[in-house]
Amino acid sequence: MTQDQDQASGFWRKPRATALLVLANGLVHEGFGQGAVGEAVGEVCFNTAMTGYQEILTDPSYAGQIVTFTFPHIGNVGVNDEDVETSNLAAPEGVRGAIFYAPITEPSNHRATQSLGAWLKARGIIGLYGLDTRALTTYIRDNGMPNAVIAHSPDGVFDIERLRAKARQWPGLEGMDLVPGVTAPERYGWTEAAWTPDHGYRAAGAGKFKVVAIDYGVKRNILRLLADAGCEVTVVPATTSAEAIEGLRPDGVFLSNGPGDPAETGKYAVPVIRTLLESKIPTFGICLGHQMLGLAIGAKTKKMRQGHHGANHPVKDFTTGKVEIVSMNHGFAVDPASLPANARETHRSLFDGSNCGLELTDRPAFSVQHHPEASPGPRDSHYLFRRFVEMMEKAKARPA
C-alpha cells in the first residue's frame, strides 16, 4: 500500500483500505477499490497473461470467478467497444471481480475509448488493487482456488464477519450450471470476420459450409475464425434440441466454450450431442465444448486444483508431434483414463499432463481444451479451424 502523511501528528500512516478480499477460510486481504462499489462472491483464480485483459474480463467462461492478474500493470491500452468477447451483451452472468497489483494505468492507445476503471464501474465489476498478487497466486497454487467475497466500499467500512460467512456459505462451482446465464436467448446468424489492421473487424464473406454453433458461452473471436475458415455460422441457445439443430441441415456442429461444472451442463447438453454424433455430423468442441464431447462419449470430468488460466501454456499435439503455446481458461478437465475405446487423446498439457484434446475413431468429431482463437494469446492453434473445415469437406465428399 502507499502511505500518506498524517498532517495533524506528523507521523506516516497507511491509508484506510477501501476494498477487501475475504476468503472462505477467514483470511482477509486489504486493498483499494476501483470500478463498481459493492460486493460479489466467487471462486478466485489467477491469470498469467500479459495482454488482453479486456478479452479476459469479457470471456463468459469466467462467470462465477474473481480473476487475479499476475502481470502487475493493467490498463495501459484502455478499453474499446470492439474487443468485448461476450457475444450476449445482456448476459446476467460474468466475471465477479478483478484483482490487480498496481493501480489501473491510464490508457495510451489509439483504439482506446475509455479507461479500464470507468469501464469496470459501468459494467458493475468490482476491482481491487494494492494486494500482493504474487502471494495470492502462491496461495492458490498450494491450496487450490478458494471461494471468496470481493468488496469495495469507498468509506472503508466493512462487516468482515458477515463477509466471511457469505464466502463460507457460497457452494462453489462444483455442481453449478452457469450456462443459462451466458447463452444466447435465441438463434441468430453470425456476420463478422477477424480483425485486420487496415479494416478492423470485417464483414464475413459467403460461407461454403453451414455450421451450427451451440452457445454455452461462446467467445466472439471463435465465431470470427469460423467465418474466416469459410463457415456460415448460425448460433443457437444451449438448450436447443438435436431435432432443431438437424433441421438446419448443418455441415458441421461447433460446441462452444462456457463456464461452470460440465457435469451439470451435461444433464441437458449430452443427450443432444449424442444424437448429433449418431447422425455423424462433423463436430468440433472447444473448452466446455471439449468437456461436453467427453461426457457424451462416456468419459468423466474432474475439478482441477488451480485450473489453467493464461496465454503461455505448452501443449503437445500428438497428431503432429508439435508443441504449441496456447491460451487456456478452465477449472475442470476430462479424465483421460476414462476415455472409451473409440476415443484417443490428441493433446496434452506439458505443465501438468492433463488432457487437452480428443478425437473419435468411429465418428467425425474432435475437441480441444484450450482456446485456439487466441483472444488473447498466441496463434499456434489456428490450424484447428482448418482441420474442422477439412473434416466437413471429407464428410460432404462421401457418398450418401
What tens-digit pLDDT sequence spans the chain (400 residues)?
A: 444 444 555 555 568 999 999 999 999 999 999 999 999 999 999 999 999 999 999 999 999 999 999 999 999 999 999 999 998 877 788 999 999 999 998 999 999 999 999 999 999 999 999 999 999 999 999 999 999 999 999 999 999 999 999 999 999 999 999 999 999 999 999 999 888 888 788 888 889 999 999 999 999 999 999 999 999 999 999 999 999 999 999 999 999 999 999 999 999 999 999 999 999 999 999 999 999 999 999 999 999 999 999 999 999 999 999 999 999 999 999 999 999 999 999 999 999 999 999 999 999 999 999 999 999 999 999 999 999 999 999 998 887 6
Collapse the DSSP code of 289 into the 3-class scheme (helix H, G, I; strand E, B; otherwise coil) and give the result.
helix
Q: What is the pTM of this model?
A: 0.95
What are the DSSP calls for 49-70, one per residue? Answer: -SS-HHHHHT-GGGTTEEEEES
The CATH T-level fold of domain 179-395 is Rossmann fold (3.40.50)
Q: In whole angstroms, give the CA distance from residue 10 to residue 104.
A: 29
The whole-angstrom separation of Cα 81 and Cα 100 is 22
How far apart, in Å, are the Cα atoms of 367 and each of 280, 311, 364, 400? 15, 19, 11, 25
Architecture in CATH for domain 15-169: 3-Layer(bba) Sandwich (3.50)
Residue pair 216/256 in contact (Cβ under 8 Å)? The answer is yes
Q: Alpha carbon of 236 to those of 187, 340, 350: distances in Å?
A: 4, 29, 34
| Residue 179 · residue 237 · CB < 8 Å | no
Contact assessment for residue 278 and residue 253, using Cβ atoms and an 8 Å cutoff:
no
Q: Which strands, in side-by-side order, build the sheet including 231-237?
A: 188-189, 231-237, 209-215, 252-255, 283-286, 365-368, 355-360, 343-349, 301-317, 322-334
Contact 336, 375 (CB under 8 A): no
Q: Which of 29, 55, 231, 287 is catalytic?
A: 287
Assess whether 287 carries a catalytic annotation: yes
Buried b (16+ CB within 10 A) or exposed e, 177-201: bbbbbbbbeeeeebebbbeeeeeee
Please say if 371 is a catalytic residue. Answer: yes
Residues 353 and 390: their CA atoms lie apart, in Å, by: 28
Residue boundaries of the structural domains of the chain: 15-169, 179-395
Which of these is catalytic: 290, 308, 313, 371?
371
Strands 283-286, 252-255: pairing kind? parallel
Give me 94's grid cell: 460474468
Phi-psi bin for 322: left (phi > 0), alpha (psi -120 to 50), beta?
beta
Nearest Cα to 65, choosing from 331, 371, 374?
Answer: 331
- Rounded Cα–Cα distance for residues 229 and 239 (Å): 26
DSSP 181: G
> Residue 29's closest CA among 229, 203, 163?
163
C-beta separation of 146 from 20 below 8 A:
no
Q: Catalytic: which of 43, 55, 192, 373?
A: 373
